[in-house]
Amino acid sequence: MEPAGGGGGGGFPADPPGAFVLSNLAEVVERVLSFLPARALLRVAGVSRLWRESVRRVLRAQRGVAWISAGPADAGPPQEHCLVRAAAAELQNVHILPQTVLYMADSDTFISLEECRGHKRARKRATMESAMALEKLFPRQCQVLGVVAPGIVVTPMGSGSHRPQEVEIGESGFALLFPQVEGIKIQPFRFTKNPKNLTLERRRFTEAGLLDNPELRVVLVFGYNCCKVGASSYLQRVVRTFSDTNVVVAGGQVDNLVSLTNDTCPVDVDGAGVAGLALSGQRVQGATVLLGEDVGDERAAEAAVQRLKAAGIPERHTVGFMFACVGRGAQFYRGRAHVEADAFRKAFPGVPLFGFFGNGEIGCDRIVTGHFALRRCGEAPAGGGGGGEARAEEDLFHSYTTVLALVHLGAAK
């Protein structure tokens, strides 16, 4: 039987019957395999060459960001953090093969403190058992960046339409799993403050993709241990090195860096520095909006989020971030919890939201669109909390504010 439209008209020979059957078989196999999680796909890839090629196509097509999250309701035995437990249970069900992982957890329970006796006085030191247990669960090829902060903003697993939670106190965390996407590069970086050498080498910024990179679009940046002497000024020096380029910058100050697996230097939990992710690619889009101290009720928060909505960032394959001051949250809104997370969800009902409550915020009203048009902080609308005539880099560092961001990973061309 000849397939519909498969005749020899128009000067083209009919498709060989074998090629037709093989093509359809490949489509059937690929369709069936698309329902399997990534770990199962890797196991069945060895069945045959056809299955191996089908697995590759399925994994390439899985471009959406996946996540694993846990909150106070998931807390269990104190010896195991809820995020570690959730990852152990859910990673086998993830449909993407993660290339880069960004995880955040509450510092009170994720980093434990133990007595260290070796001096006249007993002192406390941080231990990394939770971080090591978590990272053993990720594929070996993953680039992993992990930080801890006083509070966590997290969207429950299952759907981006779930109500995001502002967990200011209690055990919580999330892991964002980014697949490898053609034309998009996500590169972790770290700059460690060295009191003996405070020089910022341009070469290191270039290697991190932060300078001399025409495709750089978004930078998520986190200063850690900024309570240390000189750490805050070091953070500002690092960020100002690349903040005057045409990119969206968002982040804040966290308590500690707990992992950067692609770095050759081991993480010093007591050291200070700057870490983050540089996202490059012509299809990457981003936008940020600053909620200043004047944004103090539900209506004002919703109005501020509408500025983010007006950026026109596509909402499919998009992740939201919220970096808020520890002085905000329910206390700032007169006992009302989740005000800013709810305002975000109202404007972006299908976009998952993640972030933290920290000790300083980085960001402003800034948009990078698909046409690579940039609106700088100084051009923000009146009342944006970050407008005025100040230079862009002077407007990036704040306190008692919230920075909301959208990061879109783009549609395939």
pTM metric for this prediction: 0.82
Higher per-residue confidence, 22 vs 186: 186
DSSP symbol at 212: S
Interatomic CA distance for residues 411 and 56, integer angstroms: 19
Report which DSSP code applies to 13.
P
List beta partners, residue 285.
Answer: 408
In terms of DSSP bridges, do strands 318-325 and 402-408 run parallel, antiparallel, or are they unpaired?
Answer: antiparallel
For residue 336, what pLDDT is reported? 93
Give residue-wise pLDDT tens across range 160-206. Answer: 889 999 999 999 999 999 998 888 999 999 999 887 777 888 999 99
Q: What are the Cα distances from residue 294, in Å, to 301, 350, 363, 385?
A: 10, 28, 16, 7
C-beta of residue 235 within 8 angstroms of C-beta of residue 253:
yes
Contacts of 319 by beta carbon, 8 Å cutoff, 6+ apart: 65, 176, 351, 352, 354, 406, 407, 409
Put the strands of the sheet holding 143-149 in their side by side order: 66-70, 173-179, 98-106, 143-149, 256-260
Residue 41: what pLDDT? 60
Q: How confident is the model at residue 268 (pLDDT cuts 50, 70, 90)?
A: low
Q: What is the pLDDT of residue 127?
A: 63
How far is the C-alpha of 413 from the C-alpha of 408, rounded, in Å? 15
Q: What is the dihedral of CA 49, 51, 57, 60, to 10 degrees?
A: -100
**48 or 346, which is more confident:** 346
Asked if pLDDT for residue 16 goes beyond 70, the answer is: no
Mean pLDDT of the chain: 80
Of 172, 175, 208, residue with least CA distance to 190: 208
- β-partners of residue 275 are 190, 222
Residues forming beta bridges with residue 167, ordered by sequence position:
152
Nearest CA to 108 among 149, 166, 153, 165? 149
DSSP states along 29-86: HHHHHTTS-HHHHHHHTTS-HHHHHHHHHHHHH--S-EEEEE-GGG---TTS-HHHHH
Q: What is the mean pLDDT of residues 115-131?
A: 54
State the pLDDT at residue 308.
93
**Pairing label, strands 185-192, 98-106:** unpaired
Cα(344)–Cα(351) distance, integer angstroms:
9
| Angle subtended by helix axes 298-309 and 339-347, to nearest 10 | 40
Picking from 109-118, 249-258, 317-326, which range would have the lowest pLDDT averaged per residue?
A: 109-118
pLDDT bracket for residue 327 (50, 70, 90): very high
pLDDT for 269 equals 61
Q: What is the pLDDT of residue 266?
A: 57
- Tell me whether strands 256-260 and 143-149 are parallel, antiparallel or unpaired: antiparallel
Q: Which two tokens stand for residue 19?
A: 């090629």
Residue 373 forms beta bridges with which residues? none
Q: 78 versus 335: which is more confidently predicted? A: 335
Contact 218, 368 (CB under 8 A): yes
Rounded Cα distance between 59 and 139, Å, is 15
Q: How many helices (H) and strands (E) does the chain have?
A: 11, 21
Helix axes 17-33, 49-61, angle to 10 degrees: 50
Q: What's the pLDDT score for residue 229?
A: 86
- Please check the confidence at residue 22 and state whether its pLDDT lies above 50: no
Tally the C-alpha atoms within 13 A of residue 52's C-alpha that lie toward its C-beta: 4
- Predicted local confidence at residue 265, as pLDDT: 56
Strands 151-154 vs 173-179: parallel, antiparallel or unpaired: unpaired
The helix/strand/coil state of 91 is helix
Q: How confident is the model at residue 394 (pLDDT cuts 50, 70, 90)?
A: very low
Per-residue pLDDT, 154? 96
Alpha carbon distance 96, 409 (integer Å): 15
Partnered with residue 48 across adjacent β-strands are none
pLDDT class of 18 with cuts at 50, 70, 90: very low
For residue 263, the one-letter residue type is D
pLDDT band at 33 (very low <50, low <70, confident <90, very high): low
List the structure tokens of 399: 């306190």
Would you state the pLDDT for residue 280? 95
Q: Which carries the bigger pLDDT value, residue 120 or residue 307?
A: 307
Give 389's Cβ-side CA count (13 Å radius).
0
pLDDT (tens digit per residue) in 349-376: 999 999 999 999 999 888 876 555 555 5
